[in-house]
Chain A
Amino acid sequence: MEHLLETIGRNMFAIFGVMALGSAAFMVASRSAVHSVLGFLFAMLCIAGCFLSLEAEFLGMAQILVYAGGIVVLFLFVVMLVEMSKKKEKEVFQAQSRYAVVAVLFGAAAFMGVFRKVIFGTASVEALVLRPELAQGLNVAKQNAQAVSRGLFADYLLPFEILSVILLVALVGAVVLAKTERV
């Protein structure tokens, strides 16, 4: 019993990874758009599980909060309103699937190229430690919210702020696009 549980605990990452891949495949393959969104939601939750199994609790929770709780809800909102029942629309979107397969293969190859050493080598992943001196005095496995915040607000403050400005620009742009008729 003990041995079995330990084995499961050690392979949690693989379990969640396989589940995430499976639900992503379900998302691509399913006919109904709402089912796709459900598959996407489940994939996001599984990725959060992957983060958790790597003791990156903060990232896992942010994943649930931002993707599962925020972005996918918006997807669902749009999908519910734009019911793709017409054959023409279906053809438009399903014609893209072969390009999507090529893109996925390309992306997987690129990912393998970058992370080959991490996946197949013996090098262990040092989670969240960008500059070792930033993590000084912190137990990264237990306090990774603090570790991430040190990285964001000490080491990479400028890029972080620029990113938020970019998001603001996108937001203002969306408002302008939506409001053009009345101006």
Chain B
Amino acid sequence: MPIPTLTQSIVITLVQCLLVVIFVFVVVPLTVFAERKVLGYLQQRLGSTRVASGHVGITGWMNRGMWKWGRIPVLSYWRGIPGLVADVLKLILKEDIIPAKADRFVFFIAPAISMVSAVVVFAAVSFVPGVFFTFPKWFPFVGGLPVSGGIADINVGLLWILGVASVGVYGIVLAGWASNSKYPLLGGLRSAAQMVSYEVPLAISLLAPVVLSASLNFGEMSARMAVGLPFWGLVPQILGFLIYLTCGFAETNRLPFDMPEAENELVAGFHTEYSGMKFGFFYLAEYINMTVVAALASGFFLGGPWLLPFGLQGLVNPFLPAFLSWFGEPHAIFFVVKIIFLLFTYIWVRGTIPRYRYDQVMSVAWKYLIPLALFNLLLAALVRCFA
């Protein structure tokens, strides 16, 4: 295998970054669309259907027919997708208003911090172990070189993920402060307290996989958690997954923990004063953060690029017949499918569970989740010690 020069390896890294950005910018708008639709169906309505494609006439006619039969028209699942383009155009073209009394520099930099810290987490996420694909020979400049499944699968990847995710708090807090107005400030303060509190059980729940897999590297951890554990490893993983997911909801400010932007209390929370693409950045950052949390959950608890969750793959693999061996190997597609399922779970939970009160949110974190996460860590340590 040829060894790339420095320039070539930088080009390969840029290609990887491009792939991740494409992945994110495909998944995020579809999640936005899915949120409207799934929430709609959860609440027994159709979701967004107005902006449809050129077949408005035909689909409309077929829809009417299905209504006449007394069925919910299947075609309405996909109606409304062109509305995404309209949404993006609206965000880009809308007038960008800066309040007169705002701190201009901080007002400008806050959405950037949110966005950057959300995207940069993906640097340490490894989508598939080893080589993702190899450039074909005819490719200019980097032909024949392998592209690995993670951008920078560093030794301390987990710390990178936690560290950068904690920098994301600044975006929200600074936005709240820089707007120089009451609702954003209250939203920013709430979210600072909430995110800092929930980082604690989140980190502790991620320590259980660290203890079990004896590594901090994302790729190694997901591999060992998926196929390297005896079945004792299952127990702390399931509990840890539930704790992690709860904290993940709180970290990304999603319902039932959406304190920073609780509409009926704080108008829109920290981004009340934002408009145009600056608001768009917060919006994007929220959904990218959801994707990140889903990626971590699937990597550490749901078996990452392997098919089965909670380390079941390692137990099943020896008994897998030869013609099914494809399902015993890691594939990026499994990873992506798990991420998408978790994104669906976000919407599902949003449509199901009402919002907590603010003091309840804090007491859930400090009184229940942290002791539970510590118990889970103890469980993991016992498993590691005796099994």
- Cβ of A34 and Cβ of B162 under 8 Å apart? no
Residue B177 contacts which of A1, A34, A45 (CB distance < 8 angstroms)? A34
Chain A residues near B173: list those with CB within 8 A: 73, 76-77, 80
Q: Produce 1/0 per residue, B185-218, CB < 8 A to A.
A: 1001100100010010000000000000000100
Interface residues of A toward B: which range?
A: 20 to 34
Q: A5-B10, A38-B109 are in contact. Are A142 and B164 (CB under 8 A)?
A: no
Q: A38-B106, A64-B164 are in contact. Are A145 and B216 (CB under 8 A)?
A: yes
Secondary structure type dominating chain B contacts: helix
Residue A61 contacts which of B10, B156, B169, B177 (CB distance < 8 angstroms)? B156
Q: In this assembly, does A169 line the interface, its C-beta being within 8 Å of a C-beta of chain B? A: no
- Cβ of A73 and Cβ of B196 under 8 Å apart? yes
- Cβ of B159 and Cβ of A77 under 8 Å apart? no
Q: A2-B6, A61-B156, A143-B155 are in contact. Are A76 and B163 (CB under 8 A)?
A: no
- Cβ of B177 and Cβ of A80 under 8 Å apart? yes
Residue A70 contacts which of B166, B174, B178 (CB distance < 8 angstroms)? B166
Q: In this assembly, does B239 line the interface, its C-beta being within 8 Å of a C-beta of chain A? A: no
Q: In this assembly, does B44 line the interface, its C-beta being within 8 Å of a C-beta of chain A? A: no
Chain A residues near B189: list those with CB within 8 A: 77, 80-81
- Measured between alpha carbons, how far is A143 from B162 in the docked complex, in Å? 19
The residues in B between 78 and 113 inclusive whose CB is less than 8 angstroms from any CB of A are 103, 105-106, 109
- Cβ of B170 and Cβ of A73 under 8 Å apart? yes
Residue B162 contacts which of A6, A69, A76 (CB distance < 8 angstroms)? A69
- Cβ of A73 and Cβ of B169 under 8 Å apart? yes
- Cβ of A65 and Cβ of B6 under 8 Å apart? no
Chain B residues near A77: list those with CB within 8 A: 173, 189, 192
**Shortest Cβ-Cβ A-B pairs, 7 listed:** A69-B166, A64-B163, A61-B159, A65-B163, A61-B156, A57-B156, A5-B6
Extra A-B contacts (15), CB below 8 Å, given A34-B177, A61-B159, A80-B177: A6-B6, A35-B106, A41-B167, A57-B156, A58-B159, A61-B160, A65-B159, A68-B166, A69-B166, A73-B169, A73-B192, A80-B185, A80-B188, A80-B189, A145-B156
List chain A positions with a Cβ less than 8 A from chain B.
Answer: 1-2, 5-6, 9, 32, 34-35, 38, 41, 45, 57-58, 61-62, 64-65, 68-70, 73, 76-77, 80-81, 142-145
